[in-house]
Chains A and B, each alone.
Chain A
Amino acid sequence: MKKNLNLSNDDLLKIDYKNTQILKKFTNENGKIIPQRVTNMSRSLHTKITKSIKQARFLSLL
């Protein structure tokens, strides 16, 4: 099932390890990354998201 995240284009451009509010939408309640087929993101955006989630985990922000 596809998920509706209610994100604007402006939000998607701001994806970064510091912007934890947006990154939280791409994780489930256990903190796992939601797969690309569910969020319906492009390949290039999804790699950006996973990279920044892992950077935020390293700094224990997420």
Chain B
Amino acid sequence: MSNIYETTMIVKPDLSNDQVKNLTNSLEGFFNESSIVIGYKEDWGIKNLKFSINKYSKGSFKFIRFKADSYFPKKLDNFLKFNSDCLRFLTIKSNNELEEATPQINKDN
């Protein structure tokens, strides 16, 4: 059975353009391996964190939503866990539709 899942990642804010491209490419490659399409992508920009994570006071937030079988989120968590550019991530089952905008997108800071 397939469900809709969503992942929010906090990426290091001081990455260069090439490193960000590298990260997105490797993530897309990982999704392609299991033949899963990323349904919806959002970039919330660089935000001030409410507390420091690994001595970083700012973080760049990325959000994706996808449709997958229940085995996949565990695999994705394992992939992100060993990625040194990703500070923190959260994967949960989504209550929203696949291409619904989040309230964070039109927020500044």
Interface of A is mostly: loop
Can you list 24 residue pairs at the A/B interface with Cβ under 8 Å?
A14-B103, A16-B96, A17-B90, A18-B8, A18-B102, A18-B103, A18-B104, A19-B103, A20-B103, A55-B90, A55-B92, A57-B50, A58-B88, A58-B90, A59-B8, A59-B61, A59-B88, A60-B10, A60-B49, A60-B50, A60-B53, A60-B59, A61-B50, A62-B50
Query: Does B90 contact A59, Cβ atoms closer than 8 Å?
Result: yes
Give every chain A residue within 8 A of B104 (Cβ-Cβ): 18, 20
Give every chain A residue within 8 A of B88 (Cβ-Cβ): 58-60
B16 proximal to A (CB < 8 A) = no
CA distance A48 to B70 in the complex (A): 22
Q: Which residues of B contact A (CB under 8 A)?
A: 8, 10, 47, 49-51, 53, 59, 61, 88, 90, 92, 95-96, 102-104
Total chain A interface residues with beta-carbon distance under 8 A: 14
A21 proximal to B (CB < 8 A) = yes
Q: Which residue of B lies closest to A15 (CB)?
A: B95
